[in-house]
Amino acid sequence: MPLLIYALLAVSLCFSSVTLAKELRIAIGAALPPYVLDHNNAGIEVDIITEALKVKGYTVSFHFVPNLRLLRRLKNREVDGTVQNSIFDIGKAVNIKVYDSATTITYHNYAIAFRDKNLQIYAIKDLLNKRVLAFQNATKYLGSVYATMAKNNADYREHAKQSLQVKQLYADRVDVIISEKRIFNYWKQQAQSRGELYRRNLNRELQFHNIFAPSARNVKFVDSQTRDDFNDGLRLIKGTGLYQTIIDKYEDM
């Protein structure tokens, strides 16, 4: 009997270690709806990553932190991966080998204005003489040409709250806002449902000036097998239609 007990204990410990190995900690930027809704542990990116890993037997615990802390969490081995812009070499930044996943979702920033203003915006340089309100640190993410424009534009501003961008545009306090399209639409819907937008401007048509390249996002894992499993899971949820269902769910909010 003692031998049987020891054998059962060994099997139990083996299964426990497998279970623990399937629990992942992923660091992701905080509060970027509809991609990240940290208070609800939800959002487009959150759900896509969760479902892609779930079909491969993983569970995920998300660490919602400001972008600057993503590096620290990875460097200190507090997480098994981070969600980032795909071109950002976070491994080099923290001197850790990381394994990039396939693209999870693509962000696309636009210069957004009312169509009846008839603004001629065909390139970044065309923003120079406009009242522009952008998201915080836009000059760090949108390239050197954009940074130069911002530096030379006396009417250029940035703000941390992207919900404010929508209100400022509809109040005619700016000519153009720089925002990711899904993020803008989310905050517009939220503000409109709360009656926070000027009614006289609600029926004005918007124009999304396509002057920025799309920005792919992915997960940087510290383990290659986990990355491979994630990629397989991502392909599976795309094939079943779940991937698009997740996107549609949040775009209809």
pLDDT at 10 over 80: no
**Containing H/E element for 91?**
helix 90-94
Q: What is the pLDDT of residue 164?
A: 95
CATH superfamily entry for domain 109-209: Periplasmic binding protein-like II (3.40.190.10)
- What is the mean pLDDT of the segment spanning 218-247? 97
CB 23 within 8 A of CB 61: yes
When mean pLDDT is compared over 11-15, 94-98, 110-114, the highest value belongs to 110-114
Q: What is the pLDDT of residue 90?
A: 83
pLDDT band at 137 (very low <50, low <70, confident <90, very high): confident
**Residue 177 to residue 135: CA distance in whole angstroms:** 8
- What is the mean pLDDT of the segment spanning 119-145? 95
pLDDT band at 136 (very low <50, low <70, confident <90, very high): confident
Instruction: Give the list of residues 6+ apart from residue 29 with CB closer than 8 angstroms, or none.
Output: 36, 64, 65, 66, 67, 70, 83
**Residue 232 to residue 223: CA distance in whole angstroms:** 15
Spans of all domains in the chain: 2-106+215-251, 109-209
pLDDT band at 52 (very low <50, low <70, confident <90, very high): very high
pLDDT tens for 165-184 read 999 999 999 999 999 999 99
pLDDT band at 2 (very low <50, low <70, confident <90, very high): very low
- What is the mean pLDDT of the segment spanning 154-172? 95
pLDDT tens for 12-45 read 444 443 444 489 999 998 889 999 998 789 999 9
According to DSSP, the β-strands at 23-29 and 81-85 are parallel
CB 71 within 8 A of CB 93: yes
What's this model's pTM, rounded to 2 decimal places? 0.84
Q: What is the pLDDT of residue 13?
A: 41
**To the nearest whole number, what is the mean pLDDT of the chain?**
90
2-106+215-251: in CATH 3.40.50.720: no
